[in-house]
Structure 1
Amino acid sequence: FREWMQFAKLKSMAGEEDPTIMSPVELFRRYLESLPQDIPAKEEIRSGKFWAAVRTEFMGTLLLVLLITSSIMLPSCIPKHQLCCQGNSTRDCCDLNMALYFQSLKGSLVYGLAMATLIQCMGNISGGHFNPAITICMVVTRHISLLRATLYIIIQCFGGLIGTAILYGLNPYARDNQFGATVPVDGITATEAFGIEFMMTFLVSLSTMSNLEPNRKDCFTKSLSIGFTYTLSYLFGYHFTGASMNPA
């Protein structure tokens, strides 16, 4: 211990501070200084890359909403959340339940694959958020500026609306399925639905933020790992809330 203290003292005299003997305040200050500095708003808004990123978020969210909502559409003869068959045979009831479970499996695969594909294709331009919840995480951790986050969220919501409008024109079952709206099933209270959606969104946010860690040395594809997280979260919450995970 005495030798270690002498070594730390020598490093201090040489101008090299040992992080193990820094105060928590000093460590936190060093962390804040290590974060990327915000670009001035006037300079950022004049950048062509900035507007390219905004357009990318619009197109990515549009495609995401279009693909996911189209994949969970059911014919009008099969109610989305009908889990029992009144007046029908046991076999018909089992067939309906099986169809709904396969529907959730298909939706989870489409959600995960769509996110992985869009992040892989567009992530180098905008970061591949396509989700206001992820954008909020990014601005809180100072990975993006408040100006960029605000425009991202606005354009993501607008892209979701345009994607729904396109779906209305292409899918004949859109109106019968409330345009793919995610609503809690009967018996789930608003508090329970909020808790389920919170846990799903927390999981995908955790996966996204962990993949931004610069010290990671694993070679697994980041876009694929995030896509798997969306698939897992969808399977967890679909039969309770419809598994939105995305305010847009």
Structure 2
Amino acid sequence: MRKEVCSVAFLKAVFAEFLATLIFVFFGLGSALKWPSALPSILQIALAFGLAIGTLAQALGPVSGGHINPAITLALLVGNQISLLRAAFYVAAQLAGAIAGAGVLYGLAPLNARGNLAVNSLNNNTTQGQAMVVELILTFQLALCIFSSTDSRRTSPVGSPALSIGLSVTLGHLVGIYFTGCSMNPARSFGPAVVMKRFGSAHWGVQGVFLPVGLSLCTVYLSSLLRAHVPSPGSVTFPVWEGEEFCGLPGNLHVSFEGSLVCL
């Protein structure tokens, strides 16, 4: 454990999570500033968050894995993909980076545009229960995208994982902004809440407690689901569609075999 903490690679990874979350929060919240000359649109904010996460995942993913989200880090911990020590350092770095990013934006933004710094809150008569379900769905589809697009066991082309993840974040914001301002990320909610000293909203309970726990439990199921559809080594499954024949066998069959198969 001590050897891991003292390694240069580990320290670089932790710093990368801090820096990535700082930049993500700065650009994401910055796109939501209420400038008197031009108020931001939902599409603008959604694209800013999505482009930021996609860019950072591409740039810093090779260094730390590009989590940039305590909920994703916890999900990976539950999925046994990272150690408890690394998860703890990552979450601390992400929360610190979020505070730093929100603080930098607070210092740079004019008072008349700063507003509440896009602190998450319940909008349009959304109840706390509705907010919990919405945020869980939004963040689960993000986790689903991350786990699927970065699954090393996949043999089919997956394209660019960073692009897929960025689009997933954009998709979530296009829907979630109307309900909660859209978080999908406890650090994104934590940073501006600290800077603006606004922990009184019910939405913080959703982001700080329910979302990470709920997502981690969903991840256990997601991981087992993905593993269940991966053929064992040396085994190949051939789908045989209706109306076709495979080596004289009727349609509507899935033929599994190990080794070689010869049709005579």
Length-normalised TM-score, structure 2? 0.67
- Residue 91 of structure 2 is matched in structure 1 by 153
1:198 to 2:136 alignment: yes
The aligned amino acid for 1:196 is V
User: In structure 1, what is the equivalent of residue 221 of structure 2?
Assistant: none
Paired residue for 2:55? 117
2:80 pairs with one of 136, 142, 152: 142
Matching of residue 236 in structure 1 with residue 175 in structure 2: yes
2:35 and 2:112 in contact (8 A); partners too: no
1:224 pairs with one of 151, 154, 163: 163
Q: Which has the larger radius of gyration?
A: 1
Amino acid at match of 2:180: T
Out of 127, 135, 147, the position equivalent to 1:189 is: 127
Q: d(CA) in 1 for partners of 2:101 and 2:58?
A: 20
Deviation of 1:109 (Å): 0.5
Counterparts of 2:82 and 2:57, CA distance in 1: 17
Structure-2 residue corresponding to 1:56: 16
1:36-55 alignment runs, 5 A limit? 41-55=1-15
1:75 paired residue number: 35
Deviation string 1:178-225 (CA, Å, 9 cap, x unpaired) is 122111114111111111111111111111111221122315101000
2:18 and 2:112 map into 1 onto residues whose CA distance is 21
In structure 1, distance between residues paired with 2:78 and 2:144: 13
Rate the CA distance shift 1:176–1:76 in 2: closer, same or farther, 3 A.
Answer: farther
Given that 1:61 and 1:159 are in contact with CA atoms closer than 8 Å, whether structure 2 keeps it comes out as: yes
CA distance in structure 1 between the partners assigned to 2:61 and 2:112 by the alignment: 29
Asked if the contact 1:76–1:176 (Cα under 8 Å) also holds between the matched residues in 2, the reply is: no
Q: Structure 2: which amino acid aligns with 1:241?
A: T
Q: Which runs of 5+ in 2 are unaligned?
A: 188-264
What is the alpha-carbon distance in structure 1 between the residues aligned to residue 112 and residue 14 of structure 2? 28
CA 1:166–1:176: 2 relative to 1, 3 Å: closer
Alignment check: 8 A CA contact 2:149 2:161 kept: yes
Given the alignment of the two structures, is residue 164 of structure 1 paired with residue 102 of structure 2, yes or no? yes
Give the aligned residue type for 2:100. Answer: I
Uncovered stretches (5+) of structure 1, i.e. residues with no partner: 1-40, 79-98
What is the aligned partner in structure 2 of residue 207 from structure 1?
A: 145
Equivalent position to 2:66, from 128, 139, 142? 128
Distance 2:46 2:135 in 1: 15
Q: Distance in 2 between matches of 1:112 and 1:154?
A: 23
Q: Is the 8 A contact 1:64 1:115 kept in 2?
A: yes
Which has the larger share of strand? Answer: 2
Rounded Cα–Cα distance in structure 2 between residues aligned with 1:146 and 1:242: 31
Matched AA of 2:148: S
1: CA distance between counterparts of 2:28 and 2:112?
12
Partners of 2:37 and 2:31 lie apart in 1 by: 17
Q: Which amino acid aligns with 2:3?
A: E
Contact 2:34-2:113 within 8 A present in 1 as well? no
Q: Identity percentage over the alignment?
A: 37
Structure 1 residues 174 and 122: CA distance shift in structure 2, 3 A: farther
Q: Report the number of matched residues.
A: 186
Do 1:76 and 1:173's aligned partners in 2 also have CA atoms closer than 8 Å?
no
